[in-house]
Structures are given as C-alpha cells and as structure tokens.
Amino acid sequence: MGSALYGTVLGALIGGWPTDHFGRRATLLWIGVLYFVGAVLSGLASNVYLFIFARFIGGLGIGISTVAAPLYISEIAPPQYRGRLGGMFQFNIVFGILIAFISNALLAGIGENAWRWMLGVAAFPSLLYALLCFGLPESPRWLLSRERDREDGLQVLRRIQPEASEAEIEAEANEIIAASSEKASSGKFWTHRLRKPILLAILIAFFNQLSGINAILYFAPRIFELAGLGAKAALLQSIGIGITNLVFTFVGLWLIDRLGRRTLLFIGSFGYIASLGLVAWAFFTMHYTIVPICVFAFIAAHAVGQGAVIWVFISEIFPNRHRAEGQTLGSFTHWIFAALLTTFFPRMVSSFAPGYVFSFFGFMMVLQLVWVKTMVPETKGVPLERIQKQLGIE
C-alpha cells in the first residue's frame, strides 16, 4: 500500500512537466505504459523488492494521471458540459474500485497464486487503454498556447465542436491565444498574481483528505470491527461502501453542471458534518448500530460533493499556460495528505478513542464549510479563459 501511494505522490509532483513539455496526449499514452508495466511486474514479482518496485511504478502512473487526465478533459470539453465530463475522471476511479472488489472476489479461490492474478489482471485494461490513446486528439489549448500551431488547434476545435460555425471556432482560438499571451500567463507560477487559484487548489485538496475519506475507504473493515461487527460482516459492509460511492458519484455527475461546483461543495459539507458528527456520537455513547449507515451517508456526501468537484475545479481555475503546474500542485497536495493519513490513521485509532478521531474530521469539515462560503467562486458554464478574469488574474 505504502509503495503504491508514495509512487502516486511522486507522480503527482512531476506530472505537470511531461504534460506541458510533451503534450497531454503523449503523457496519457505513457501513463498506460506505466500501468501495464506495473501490473505485469506485480503479478510476476519473484521477491518483495521487485514487488515494491512494481507497485511504485503503478502508483507513479496513477499520480501522473491525476494531473494529465482532468487537465486534458477540461481543455477539450465545451463549457456547458465540462463539469460532468471532468467528473467522469472521478467516476472511473470509483467504478474501478468496485470492479477491483468484484475481480478479487472472483479470483480469490483459484489457488495459492490468486494474489498474483488479482494484481496482474490489471494489465489487460491497461493495454487496452494505451492502445485507445492513439486515437485521441491533442488538446487544442496546448497546441495553440504551447506549440503555437494554429492549424492543428483549429482542426481539433472543429472536431470537438462540430456544431460551431467557422467564425465561432476562429473567435475561440483567438481568445485562447490572447489569454495565453497575457502577462499572467507568461510569468512564473509562484507569483502574487496567481495567489487565489494557488490557495484554492491547495485548500480543496487539503479539505478533501482531511474529511477522512481515504482513511475510511482503506480501513473500512477495521472501522466496522471497532463498531462491533464481525470480520466477515465488516468486509461485506466495505463492499457496500463501494456500491454507495458509485451510485452517488452518478448523482454528483448529474448535478455538477446543473447546480454548480460551489453548491455541491455546500451540500457535501453539510453531509460530512452530520454523518461524521453522528459517527463520533455513536462511538462516544456506544450506539454502534448507527455506524454503518452513517458511514454510508458520509460516502454519499463525499461522492456528491468533494468527489465530484475536486478534479473538475482544480483543472478550471488556472490560466492555460499554468494549468499543468496548477493541476500538479492540487494533485500533489491531495496525494501527500492521502499518504500521510493512510500511514497514521491506524495509529490514530489505536492512540485515541474513535469518537475523537471522527470529531476531528468533522471539525475540519466545519472549516471547509466556512471556506466554501467565503472563498470559493462558481465556475459552472464559464469558458476557461474567462475564469482567470473572474479570479482577478489580469
């Protein structure tokens, strides 16, 4: 678990560089190669060191994907559909988790090497994904702003907006080039001018993990056992978490372009506070029977709120020239806190009563609610080049 997570942290940290220098499409293709190599080596590993290395390679691909994929989707999606298309990245993560649960259950009884098949079988979808990447167009914004290739950029814009007139395509290309030529887009990343999107990216990723989501996902059976469920019942409950996550991710995708990103963060925050507060109360008062349903409610709140919004929002708030760096910052913040919480959560529940741990997560979500109310802008339906003006980046 640790080797994959810290590979993900490194991938998130370096993911902006290949995405900017080699292009979104090439980076997405090499992510598939990393997935494939990591899966094959995991299944064939002859010793623990090769196994750790294989898991690290797979994690590296995951980390880079959280930079390149949401960024690519945001740059090819029409403004009115950007939320739900960007949210498909999160949906595929959730769907993949559920498929992994099912795949592992089906492979569990095939013998002593079942674990090798559980890990190695990921090579098949990885190879399919890599092959399909050859059919992807390059991002028109990367072509226009980084490569200064107007002809290819226009061609991709026509391909993704076939209903638009030639005048509208030309006008959009001009707007992309103009936004990329502005002082805010041509300067350095760590500047006072970009302070607002930088702070927004850090805080949305920070609050995402300080909700306790990954700790609860990774250690769901342990939490249910603390609530008095047997080991087998706890495992079944954790599968229920996967199903709940998938269903409410659908709900989040349906709502994100209708209600907006800020509204979903409000809904999620209230859901977090209520569910985490009730879990804490249940552990303090030994009313353990409500713990499973409250954990499911927590997962639903996350899927509709932060889960649906985070990758979409980070990919929207930075200028074209700095979008990869901004995505890297948000992704790295997300994964470093995920790795730290995964490392320390077992010690937390061993050192403190579970009620205090869930109270801490609930308090952090109160702070998130204040942050959403006071700082978060609405980006629903706004073209990317206009969002930077909305944030005061001139």
Q: What are 195-239's pLDDT values in tens digits?
A: 999 999 999 999 999 999 988 887 777 788 887 776 666 666 767
Local confidence band at 390 (pLDDT 50, 70, 90 cut-offs)? confident
pLDDT for residue 74: 93
- Give the predicted TM-score (pTM) of the model: 0.85
Nearest to 61, CA basis, from 370, 350, 335, 389 = 335
Nearest to 38, CA basis, from 151, 97, 122 = 122
- For the segment 265-274, the average pLDDT, to the nearest whole number, is 97
Higher per-residue confidence, 218 vs 307: 307
pLDDT for residue 183: 52
Q: Tell me which of 3-12, 75-84, 231-240 is least confident.
A: 231-240
Helix H or strand E encompassing 6: helix 2-14
pLDDT for residue 166: 93
**Percent of the residues in the chain that have a pLDDT greater than 70, as a whole number:** 95
Nearest to 366, CA basis, from 281, 295, 290, 266 = 266
pLDDT for residue 186: 54
What is the token pair recorded at 249? 């991710």
Q: Is the pLDDT of residue 130 over 80?
A: yes
CA distance 370 to 373: 5
CA atoms within 13 A on the CB side of 81: 9
- For the segment 28-36, the average pLDDT, to the nearest whole number, is 97
3 Cβ contact list (under 8 Å, min separation 6): 52, 53, 55, 56, 59
Show contacts of 27-31: CB within 8 Å, 24+ apart: 27/64, 27/68, 28/65, 28/68, 28/69, 28/72, 28/133, 28/136, 29/130, 29/133, 29/134, 30/64, 31/61, 31/64, 31/65, 31/68, 31/69
pLDDT for residue 49: 93
Give per-residue pLDDT as tens, 134-177.
999 999 999 998 888 999 999 999 998 888 899 999 999 998 88
**What is the residue type of 127?**
L
- For the segment 112-135, the average pLDDT, to the nearest whole number, is 94
pLDDT for residue 184: 46
The answer for 77, left when phi > 0, alpha when psi is -120 to 50, beta otherwise, is beta
What is the token pair recorded at 149? 């290739």
Q: How many CB atoms lie within 10 A of CB 172?
A: 20
Q: Is the pLDDT of residue 94 over 90?
A: no
Q: Is the pLDDT of residue 394 over 70?
A: no
